[in-house]
């Protein structure tokens, strides 16, 4: 192995190549991931080894392994690349707010109902912003935000009055800050001939005895519904015999007479209008709610941008017909 050349520094291309190899442990896959030819990538890694004076990878005919030094330095290389990325992001934000790419993560129980408002706002107010939407469950979105894969999240969290943290709730996650948008009520969805159909004064106590249908594990709406049931004193939680992957399937199960469910207010019109076998009922005060918020990395380079975007979105949502229904 060559000795370190004093004063010589690794290039970003060399660090990027090594980080890709450390992630994929395969030269062809790593080269494809960063858009570099395989010979160029191999040369960049070799050049980095020469610059650092240590062997980073062990090359065999079948696979690539990280050396002990490679194991130690892979994380450092990624930190340097992340820092450079943040530098470029900050420079771009200062140079031209509301331009470039915005990677927005949205949970499935929000995306179909609020994305039209979000996209109209972007097209009207921020035409130079290239918004890229990623629909995932909350835990995946938070991981993507903290890891730098996503810039901004649109998700649901328990309102502050609940004093509880649901799974995937960004409250308490180091480095994540919230911009509250609005609180929305939960509405009970029932078969059209259910004894609670059309009521506007349903007590939470009714949840103790109802056959309640839930989304699959991993959805924050499922966890929030279970929290509401526990608040209502439903002993032993909520036995689950039937679940659904999405709200559209969930309400069809209700229409088929398998039970009732809770929907957030923004989803009610879309999910119930297509089926005459469905009815709704509203809770008496205090009505169970969830909070819709934007989440970003604390101290993000585009924090001012995101705060302004949140204020504009908050105003756009306030005028939605759903709140007038």
Tell me whether the CATH fold assigned to 12-93 matches the one assigned to 184-289.
no
CB 185 within 8 A of CB 282: yes
Mean pLDDT of the chain: 85
Alpha carbons 154 and 60: distance in angstroms, whole number: 45
Residue pLDDT, tens place only, 91-146? 776 666 788 889 999 999 999 999 999 999 999 999 988 999 999 999 899 999 98
Read off the pLDDT band of 173 (50, 70, 90). Answer: confident
Q: What is the pLDDT, as a whole number, of residue 149?
A: 93
Phi, psi of 193 (to 5 degrees): -105, 15
- Decide if pLDDT at 25 tops 80: yes
Q: Which residue has the higher pLDDT, 283 or 90?
A: 283
Q: What is the pLDDT, as a whole number, of residue 52?
A: 92
CB 45 within 8 A of CB 18: yes
- Decide if pLDDT at 167 tops 50: no
Residue pLDDT, tens place only, 256-273? 999 899 999 999 988 888
Alpha carbons 199 and 117: distance in angstroms, whole number: 30
Q: What is the pLDDT, as a whole number, of residue 161?
A: 52
CB 149 within 8 A of CB 214: no
Token digits for 217? 């594990």
- Helix and strand counts by DSSP (H, E) for the chain: 10, 11
Read off the pLDDT band of 237 (50, 70, 90). Answer: low
- Residue the block writes with tokens 């030094």: 69
Read off the pLDDT band of 200 (50, 70, 90). Answer: very high
Which residue ranges make up each domain of the chain? 12-93, 97-182+290-324, 184-289
DSSP sequence for 175-215: TEEEEEEEEEEEEEEEETTSTTTT-S-B-GGGGGTS-B-EE
Q: Which fold has domain 12-93?
A: Arc Repressor Mutant, subunit A (1.10.10)
Q: What is the pLDDT, as a whole number, of residue 241?
A: 63
Read off the pLDDT band of 154 (50, 70, 90). Answer: very high
Cis (ω within 30 of 0) for the bond into 193? Answer: no
Q: How many other CB atoms are found less than 10 A from the CB of residue 275?
A: 15
Residue pLDDT, tens place only, 283-322? 999 899 999 999 999 888 888 889 999 999 999 988 777 6
- Decide if pLDDT at 48 tops 80: yes
3-class secondary structure, 243: strand
Read off the pLDDT band of 164 (50, 70, 90). Answer: very low
The reply to whether the predicted model has a pTM over 0.85 is no
- Work out the average pLDDT over 187-211: 90
Question: Lowest mean pLDDT: which of 167-171, 191-195, 254-258?
Answer: 167-171
Q: What is the pLDDT, as a whole number, of residue 323?
A: 57
Give 64's DSSP letter. Answer: E
% of the chain beyond a pLDDT of 90: 52
Question: Lowest mean pLDDT: which of 188-202, 228-242, 268-282?
Answer: 228-242
Q: Would you state the CATH architecture of domain 184-289?
A: 3-Layer(aba) Sandwich (3.40)
Q: How many other CB atoms are found less than 10 A from the CB of residue 32?
A: 15
Question: Lowest mean pLDDT: which of 26-40, 102-116, 222-236?
Answer: 222-236
Alpha carbons 10 and 57: distance in angstroms, whole number: 16
The angle subtended at Cα 123 by Cα 121 and Cα 124, nearest 5°, is 65
Q: How many other CB atoms are found less than 10 A from the CB of residue 119?
A: 13
Q: Which fold has domain 97-182+290-324?
A: D-Maltodextrin-Binding Protein; domain 2 (3.40.190)
3-class secondary structure, 130: strand
Token digits for 286? 């205090």
Give just the sign of the alpha carbon dihedral 175, 185, 183, 316: positive
- Residue the block writes with tokens 């921020």: 126
Q: Which is it for strands 278-281 and 176-191: parallel, antiparallel or unpaired?
A: antiparallel
The percent helix, strand, coil of the chain (3-state, each to 5) is: 45, 20, 35
């Amino acid at each position: 192995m060559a000795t370190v050349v004093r004063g010589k520094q690794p290039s970003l291309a060399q660090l990027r190549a090594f980080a890709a190899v450390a992630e994929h442990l395969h030269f062809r896959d790593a080269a494809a991931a960063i858009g570099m030819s395989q010979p160029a990538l191999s040369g960049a890694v070799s050049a980095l080894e020469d610059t650092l004076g240590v062997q980073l990878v062990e090359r065999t005919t079948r696979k690539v392994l990280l050396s002990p030094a490679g194991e130690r330095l892979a994380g450092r290389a990624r930190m340097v690349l992340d820092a450079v990325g943040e530098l470029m992001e900050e420079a771009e934000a200062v140079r031209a707010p509301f331009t470039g790419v915005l990677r927005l993560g949205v949970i499935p129980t929000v995306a179909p109902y609020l994305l039209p408002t979000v996209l109209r706002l972007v097209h009207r107010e921020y035409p130079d912003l290239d918004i890229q939407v990623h629909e995932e469950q909350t835990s995946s979105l938070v991981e993507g935000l903290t890891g730098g894969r996503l810039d901004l999240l649109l998700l649901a969290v328990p309102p502050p009055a609940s004093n509880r943290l649901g799974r995937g709730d960004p409250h308490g996650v180091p480095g994540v800050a919230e911009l509250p948008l609005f609180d929305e009520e939960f509405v009970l969805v029932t078969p059209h001939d259910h004894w609670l159909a059309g009521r506007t004064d349903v007590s939470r106590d009714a949840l103790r005895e109802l056959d309640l249908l839930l989304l699959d594990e991993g959805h924050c709406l499922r966890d929030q519904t279970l929290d509401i049931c526990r608040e209502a004193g439903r002993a032993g939680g909520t036995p689950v015999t039937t679940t659904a992957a999405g709200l559209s399937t969930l309400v069809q199960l209700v229409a088929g007479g398998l039970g009732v469910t809770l929907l957030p207010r923004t989803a009610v019109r879309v999910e119930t209008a297509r089926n005459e076998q469905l009815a709704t009922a509203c809770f008496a005060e205090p009505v169970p709610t969830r909070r819709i918020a934007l989440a970003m990395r604390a101290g993000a380079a585009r924090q001012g941008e995101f705060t302004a975007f949140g204020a504009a979105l908050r105003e756009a949502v306030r005028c939605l017909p759903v709140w007038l229904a």
